[in-house]
Structures are given as structure tokens and as C-alpha cells.
Structure 1
Amino acid sequence: MNREQISRLAHANHPIQSPLDDDSVRQLLEHGAPCGDERVLDLGCGGGEWLLRALTAHPQLHAEGVDISEDALRQAREAASRLGIQTRLALHHQEAADFRSTDSFDLVLSVGATHALGGLLPTLAAARKHLAPGGRVLIGDGFWEREPSQEAIEMLGDFTDLATTLDRVVADGWTPVHGHVSTRRELDDYEWACWGSLASWALDHPADPDSSQVLETAAARRTEWLRVYRDTWGFVSLVLRQTSD
């Protein structure tokens, strides 16, 4: 079973794919798209859960998503069709960095996907290219709550602390409109949901040739979370506008 398939199984019970509960997602979308008739772009949309929720909540909203996973985009299309919102959703199978559009967007979002564009500031630079005047960006990324071990850095990436992260965003020409730091419950629930989904699938499919691999992945993820980065890593989501607006 490849990495994409394992990721799909891991997020079966947490399709937002970030450590945020439903209320936090709702509030972030409300601040990102306050009018309800915005054009929204998700760079690295995966299965499109952010867009599906925004479209379902706002019948006048239109959205586009970009992702390199054909399977994830297929899932997004199927979900949009079931929800009856497919006519307001356009999906693009390509690298987020290569996406071009003649349209501009009132909200550009990339939550938990900044690695696809080279990190936090490169993702903001990519978002800026697509942003309409007065538009907003919704971005979510990790940070270090405490000094990380070298193992944690190698596993998750070379983040900074929260204060430095915010300083870099502001210095890059952005003003925070709303922010949310994921709570300990959100962080734990996310990780437990991911490894729990993998373990449940493996135990429910004992005869599947991939069962042992999936179960081993679940156990390894749980061990890494508890031992390496549970008390070190955090996650912040920001709604931003350009300072010059």
C-alpha cells in the first residue's frame, strides 16, 4: 500500500487533515469568507474538505481546488456530487505552484499543506498572486512550542516558535484578522483519530495483504507522537489580509 493510500485511511475519520475541530474550522471559514459569496481557492486541497464545507454553508460561494493527487480529487468530486454542489466547484490536477488562473480569489487557503509550496512564506507568496484586492488568506502551519529534538526536526521539518512565525508573517506584509492555536485536545484528537483509523482498518481486514503494514504504520505513528513531538509541536491557523489593503 502506497503512502497516499495510507494517508487516505488515516484521515477517514478526520477529513480536515489538520488538528482542528469542527467549530474551529467553521470560525476560520467565517472569518475568511465573511460575506458568503466569495470565490475561494485551496492550494493543496486534498479531498477538498475545506471547500466542501464552505460551499455547503454558503449557496452563493464558488470554489476551486488544486492538488497533485488524482485519487483525492476524485473523492472531492464524488463528495460534491452527493452534496449537490458540484456545479460550484472546479478542481485542477496539478502542482499548486504551477497553477495559473485568469480569475482572482477573495479567499486563498492552504492549511496543513505549506510543504507543497516550500514552506510558510513561499505559500503566502503563491497565495498573493491569486488574491483579489481586499481578499484574505487562510493558512495553517506547525510551530515549535518547545525546543525540539533533532529527531523531531527531521520528522516534521524545521519550524520556528509561534512568536517568530507571527513576526515573519507580519514582516512579509500581512495583517492577522483572526487566529487560532490548536488546543491540546485538538492535537491529541487528530493524532488519535489518524492512528486509530489505521488500526481499525487493519483489524477489520486481517486477510488483506496490506493489513500488517497498515497496523505497523499505526503503531509507529502513535509511538512517534507520544515519544517525539506530542509536547513539542503545535499548530496555528491564521486569517490574513495584505497590510497595504
Structure 2
Amino acid sequence: MNATTDNPPRLTRLTFHGPLSQARAAQLTERLLRNDPRTVLDIGCGWGEFLLRLLTAAPQATGVGVDLNAEDLARGRKTAAGRGLADRVTFHAESGIGTVRGPADVVLCLGASQALSDAQPPHHTAAALTALHGLVNPGGRVLLGEGFWERTPTPDELAGMWPGARADEHPSLAELVDLAVAAGFRPEWIETADRGEWEEFESGYRAGTEEWLAAHPSHPAAAELRERIDQQRTRWLRGYRDVLGIAYLTLIREA
């Protein structure tokens, strides 16, 4: 291959765009199927891997994925076609704010609450839950993957995270569940990503790029890309590792 024309890969080593293991995904899918869903809506779907797995397991269901990233959506359409699901799922390049794609029997929002509202932290989570309540049928399920603080971050940890990180940016797990209840949901299941899932995600997020950088150290794009990847890794290891958590809440909308 010509090192001057090769392009760096993007997220090729990730199955899910978040700290979600194959085993947990299977358990979540099984739980969501108990409601016999016929319609599934995925907000901020990316390439829709969880959506497609749910549809595979629920042959009676159809699905809709919404995201703004055209590359991810193209990946989702290609994967759907390869799995024989192209006639049961559509992907749309559009914002989730004010979407009229619902209501659905199951609504997925995995690490994408920001796609549902212009509200800024710490108000974005409550705003997203309000929007989700209007997108799911009464008695239906919402699967929310949302950030929370495992503990209050120190000033040094906040300084090592993303620009402008604040201690009030995320709720605790208990506060997150309280917000869901206040929005009109009953929490059927509460679980959180473990360290192994985080490590698989964080390493997988960069693995393809790290491999490319090692093979193309003199590529014109290498210096800028190396700086960005090194910064991402440092923010994880010196900032939010074991501080930021991801909760997976299976929520039932009250009738």
C-alpha cells in the first residue's frame, strides 16, 4: 500500500459505540423482547449495531435509526443489507430534536441523550428523558445509556477530562434514576458498565488508528492524528477513568 494515499481507519475495531459487552447486549436484548415489540426507534443510532441485533431477535419488528453522521449511517445500511434486514429498518440523517419518528414500542438512546435536546449540562438528561417519554408507547420500554459520576471528581481529574468538564455535569446513579422516575418511567432494570467494558471500548476506539499510526509514521496526516489520539487516551487515563460511569436503564413508560 502507498503510505501517502492510505487513509486512517475510523472506529473499525468497535462493535458498539460505547462500553457495552457482547454479553450485556444479549441480556438487554432478551429483556426488551419480553414486551413483544413491533416497532423500535434508535435515537443517535450511529451504525445501529444494537438496533440490528434487536431486530434479528424480533422478526416481527421493524426499526428506524436517526443520526447525523452520514458515514455511520452508511455503515448501518450496509450491515443491515448483509444481515437480510434492509426491508425492516431505515436509517435517517436527521436530528433527534423534535423528531416525529415515534412513538415506538422500544426506544433506544445509548450514549446519545444530547441528540434529543439543546439543553446544556446538567439539564440535558432531564430534557432527554422528557423527550423519550413522548417517543415511547405507554407500557413500552426505553433503553437509556447515560453518563453518571461514580464519585465526585477531584479538581485535578476534571482538569484532565474534556474542556470545560464540571462536577455538576452529570448526576450520581441514584440521581439519574430519580430523574427517570420524575419523567414518568418505572426503572425495570438498573445496571452499569464495568471496567472491562470501558477498557474494551476505550482501547477499541483507538486501536485501528494506533495500528495505522505505527505503520504510517511519516504520513502527512500522522502528526495531527497522533496528537489527537494521544490527547484522547490521556483524558481517559488521567481524567475520567473509574470516575465517569455509564448506566444502562431499562425504563417502562407508565400507562
For this structure pair, what is the TM-score category when the shorter chain's length is used for normalisation?
A: 0.7 to 0.9
The answer to whether structure 1 residue 235 and structure 2 residue 246 are counterparts is: yes
The residue matched to 1:97 in structure 2 has which SS? coil
Instruction: Please identify runs of 4+ aligned residues in structure 1 that moved more than 3 A.
Output: 152-157, 204-208
Q: Letter of the 2:242 partner, please give it.
A: D
TM norm structure 2: 0.85
- Counterpart for residue 128 of structure 1: 133
CA displacement, residues 24-57 of structure 1 (integer Å, 9 cap, x when unaligned): 1121122223255521000111111111111222
- Counterpart for residue 148 of structure 2: 143
CA contact (8 A) 2:37 2:105 kept: no
Q: Letter of the 2:194 partner, please give it.
A: T
The residue matched to 2:97 in structure 1 has which SS? helix
CA displacement at 1:58 relative to structure 2:
2.5
Q: Which has the higher helix share?
A: 1
Range moving further from structure 2, 113-122 or 20-29: 113-122
CA contact (8 A) 1:44 1:67 kept: yes
The residue matched to 1:166 in structure 2 has which SS? helix
TM norm structure 1: 0.88
Residues in 2 aligned to 1:234 and 1:53: alpha-carbon distance in whole angstroms: 24
- Counterpart for residue 62 of structure 1: 62
CA displacement, residues 105-140 of structure 1 (integer Å, 9 cap, x when unaligned): 100110011122243222222222221221110001
Identical columns (%): 33
* Structure with the greater alpha carbon radius of gyration: 2
Residues in 2 aligned to 1:178 and 1:231: alpha-carbon distance in whole angstroms: 22
Q: Letter of the 1:220 partner, please give it.
A: Q
CA displacement at 1:207 relative to structure 2:
5.3
Compared CA separation, residues 79 and 156, structure 1 to 2 (3 A) = farther
Q: Letter of the 2:129 partner, please give it.
A: L
Residues in 2 aligned to 1:91 and 1:21: alpha-carbon distance in whole angstroms: 24
CA contact (8 A) 1:177 1:239 kept: yes
The residue matched to 1:231 in structure 2 has which SS? coil
Residues in 2 aligned to 1:214 and 1:25: alpha-carbon distance in whole angstroms: 31
- Counterpart for residue 107 of structure 2: 108
- Counterpart for residue 17 of structure 2: 17
- Counterpart for residue 204 of structure 1: 215
Compared CA separation, residues 238 and 156, structure 1 to 2 (3 A) = farther
Q: Letter of the 2:182 partner, please give it.
A: A
Q: Letter of the 2:95 partner, please give it.
A: E
CA contact (8 A) 1:40 1:64 kept: yes
Q: Letter of the 1:93 partner, please give it.
A: A
Q: CA RMSD in A?
A: 2.2
